[in-house]
């Protein structure tokens, strides 16, 4: 019976589709924590075929409208990547695309795509877009409390324009320019927006904490260090932190002048500007990571984004 076929989130999505017949649901595979098997799986034609068939079967069984492949990232050694991933990723998308279309031409194939040149250089962007309905660019985590040369100072998580310090391409405008330069049609580009912030501890070198040295991650909403939900910022932090806007990089941040905690995040102002970019540049739309971090039950940021994109 239908009740037995669906449970949990799948059941909820199935019910939602009954209420909203135009709603499309895709199952996303991979992610930061589950991308290690991709390189091995994509390494032979037989494995790619097998994976593609499983994608088709899964969509059929659970009534999904397509597949989103979130391989983070082809060629990334820390996640078992290797140089041949570049070509194999293209072949994988070609195989999955062909299998899905053969089953049902309406089935969708998308990817979550990197926003940094250190990762997108390992992807044949000019080829893969031919097999995809759209590309979800992860336009966040340009900077975080990770140390290293690019992150020696506090900086913006998802700035629109280049920041004063750090890599000149680590910003939303540059990544959109890059994907378009590789031949991706504007309407296939979906801009990813963060519903979270990154915190930095002991940012005491500058008056507002921006572009300061720091001492690792700061405040966190959950056990994931330095990771702060938008809802937490909104409900619990704004009364003790001072809000700032960087007019050059076009990014929001908050700073606690007592604890010296610095948090970069996307505010309503950030999303107003990003929605305008999506409209002005004729992009396909917006993607958000992730819904559970918005305020509830009013869905402040999602409501704002929806209104701005109208």
Q: Does some domain include residue 95?
A: yes
Q: Which of 93, 99, 248 is nearest to 161 (CA)?
A: 248
Prediction pTM value? 0.96
CATH number at residue 100: 3.20.20.80
Distances from the Cα of 25 to the Cαs of 12, 69, 131, 271, in angstroms? 11, 13, 19, 24
Q: Which domain holds residue 107?
A: 2-194+267-309
| 100 within 8 A of 109, measured Cβ to Cβ | yes
User: Which residue intervals of the chain are DSSP H helices?
Assistant: 2-5, 8-19, 38-41, 45-62, 85-103, 117-120, 125-128, 172-181, 230-232, 268-280, 300-309
Partners of 199 in the β-ladder: 263
Q: Does some domain include residue 223?
A: no
Q: Does some domain include residue 261?
A: no
Q: Does some domain include residue 77?
A: yes
253 phi, psi to nearest 5 deg: -160, 160
Give the pLDDT of the chain (310 residues) as one tens digit per residue. Answer: 455 567 899 999 999 999 999 999 999 999 999 999 999 999 999 999 999 999 999 999 999 999 999 999 999 999 999 999 999 999 999 999 999 999 999 999 999 999 999 999 999 999 999 999 999 999 999 999 999 989 999 999 999 999 999 999 999 999 999 999 999 999 999 999 999 999 999 999 999 999 999 999 999 999 999 999 999 999 999 999 999 999 999 999 999 999 999 999 999 999 999 999 999 999 999 999 999 999 999 999 999 999 999 9
Q: Does some domain include residue 43?
A: yes
Q: Does some domain include residue 32?
A: yes
Distances from the Cα of 271 to the Cαs of 22, 265, 285, 295, in angstroms? 25, 11, 12, 15
Torsion angle (degrees, nearest 10) of CA 101, 105, 107, 113: 60
Q: How far apart are alpha carbons 288 and 276 in whole angstroms?
A: 16
Q: Does some domain include residue 34?
A: yes
Q: Which residues are catalytic?
A: 72
H or E element in which residue 227 lies? strand 227-229
3-state secondary structure 46-66: HHHHHHHHHHHHHHHHHCCCE
Q: Does some domain include residue 244?
A: no
Number of domains in the chain: 1
């Amino acid at each position: 019976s239908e009740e037995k076929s669906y449970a949990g989130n799948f059941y909820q999505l199935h019910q939602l589709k009954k209420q909203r017949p135009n709603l499309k649901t895709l199952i996303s595979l991979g992610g930061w924590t589950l991308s290690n098997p991709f390189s091995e799986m994509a390494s032979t034609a037989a494995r790619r075929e097998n994976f593609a068939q499983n994608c088709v079967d899964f969509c059929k069984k659970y009534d999904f409208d397509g597949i989103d492949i979130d391989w983070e990232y082809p060629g990334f050694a820390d996640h078992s990547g290797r140089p041949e991933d570049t070509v194999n990723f293209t072949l994988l998308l070609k195989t999955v695309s062909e299998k899905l279309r053969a089953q049902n031409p309406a089935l969708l194939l998308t990817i979550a795509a990197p926003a940094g040149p250190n990762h997108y250089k390992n992807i044949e962007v000019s080829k893969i877009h031919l097999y995809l309905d759209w590309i979800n660019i992860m336009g966040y985590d340009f900077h975080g409390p990770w140390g290293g040369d690019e992150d020696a100072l506090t900086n913006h998580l998802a700035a629109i324009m280049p920041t004063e310090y750090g890599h000149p391409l680590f910003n939303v405008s540059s990544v959109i320019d890059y994907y378009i330069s590789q031949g991706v049609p504007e309407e296939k580009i979906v801009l990813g927006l963060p519903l979270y912030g990154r915190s930095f501890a002991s940012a005491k070198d500058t008056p507002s904490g921006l572009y300061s040295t720091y001492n690792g991650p700061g405040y966190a909403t959950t056990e994931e260090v330095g990771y702060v939900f938008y809802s937490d910022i909104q409900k619990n932090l704004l009364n003790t932190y001072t809000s700032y806007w960087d007019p050059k990089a076009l990014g929001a941040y908050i700073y606690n002048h007592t604890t010296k905690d610095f948090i970069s995040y996307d505010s309503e102002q950030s999303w107003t500007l990003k929605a305008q970019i999506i409209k002005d540049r004729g992009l396909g739309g917006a993607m958000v990571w992730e819904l559970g971090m918005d305020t509830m039950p009013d869905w402040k940021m999602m409501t704002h984004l929806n209104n701005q994109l109208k």
